[in-house]
Amino acid sequence: MMDDYNLPFWIYLAVVTVFVGGAMKKVLASHLSAGPTLVAWLGATVLVERLWAFCLPAMLLLVLLALMAFVYSRSRTGPPPSLPAQGKAVFITGCDTGFGNAAAKHLDSLGFDVFATVLNLTGDGARELQRRCSSRLTLLQVDITQPQQVQQALLDTKAKLGLQGLWGLVNNAGVCANLGDAELTLMSNFRSCMEVNFFGTVSVTKTFLPLVRQARGRIVTISSPAGDQPFPCLAAYGASKAALNLFTNTLRHELDPWGVQVSTILPSSYKTAPSSNHTYWEQQHKQLLQSLPPALLEDYGEDYVTETKTLFQSFAEHANPDFSPVVDSIVQALLSPQPQARYYAGPGLSLTYFIHSYFPFSISDRYLKRMFLKKTLMPRALRKQSGLEVDLGLDNRNNNEEKLQQL
């Protein structure tokens, strides 16, 4: 019976299964009426099946798709159309290090009038910007969680712009105050992430939006895939980015009549400060152990918390140090005549989003765990329940007895 079906049939079956399964997953997760969506997907499936059976053999369809992709890529070999940067002003938050620092330098080199905010005007990042950038760059000391500083930055920017509007607002400032499971994450970390990543960004956006509307310009926000997908041990950070993503998507609809284009950039893993600092993780780990209630620490185990810290350190050490994909995405969002709503900056994101969108939750969750933090320890209470803690204790006692006998 199996011989009646050749390889192209199984390829076809796999493709249809993935897309129909993805549709069913979205319907079940939406908790909305599944009728219209299900009928539409079943109709599309039947149509594809009829076309397959009567018009396009499997291999021919694959060849046709490959040919179309080749022709499309050849038609886009030239550089994408771009608006001029000269005479355009852009305001960037969080330029002490990382994406903001790299973007400020690059946008200045393209001819933008850059307003770069830093937390420390005498810090290394600020001095580097002053040394490497032109006189067009303006440094501003701004903590985006402080409304008075945001308002002062607006006044300083207006004073330099004159009657000119603000072409670009790049919301880059953010923090990742996270070091473990949601239950182990301190409430102060949840609040810190929300204050900077969400409320701070909303404050800056609302404050500078009149200037952006005046120029019919662009709003570019650096977010994270953790705001779309349940990365383990990133509950506080991911929740703040999820709120930010919804805010940005809402702005995209609301500002379209004003001629303002809104884009979100989703970077993969990059080596940004302070996550690349070994001392930072040690301090976070120490603070967490001192702050957790004794009963909760007993349930999870200090070794469990330490392993999580070690995995975060290892992940940060192997992150990509080259920020150019993110910086290039910022430039495209600012200068493309038709910017995209979303830019995926970095390798592996397309596969991650494909699996998250179309595969069952059991598979997508397992993929995230393997890709991000490959934990080997269970919480201590679960080990005790399964007998692992007892077995380990017996093994340790037996080993100690053998050593004593040898002595």
Distance (Å, whole) CA 178 – CA 185: 7
Distance (Å, whole) CA 340 – CA 49: 32
Q: Which of 12, 237, 270, 358 is catalytic?
A: 237
Tell me the one-letter amino acid at 64. L
Distance (Å, whole) CA 119 – CA 67: 51
Residue of 95, 83, 73, 195 whose CA lies nearest to 141: 95
Residue of 285, 286, 245 whose CA lies nearest to 266: 245
163: buried, middle or exposed (CB in 10 Å: 19+, 13-18, 0-12)? exposed
Residue 138, classed as helix, strand or coil, is: strand
DSSP conformation class of 119: S
DSSP H helices, 5-86, are: 7-30, 35-54, 58-75
Q: Is 237 a catalytic residue?
A: yes
Which residues does the annotation mark as catalytic?
Answer: 237
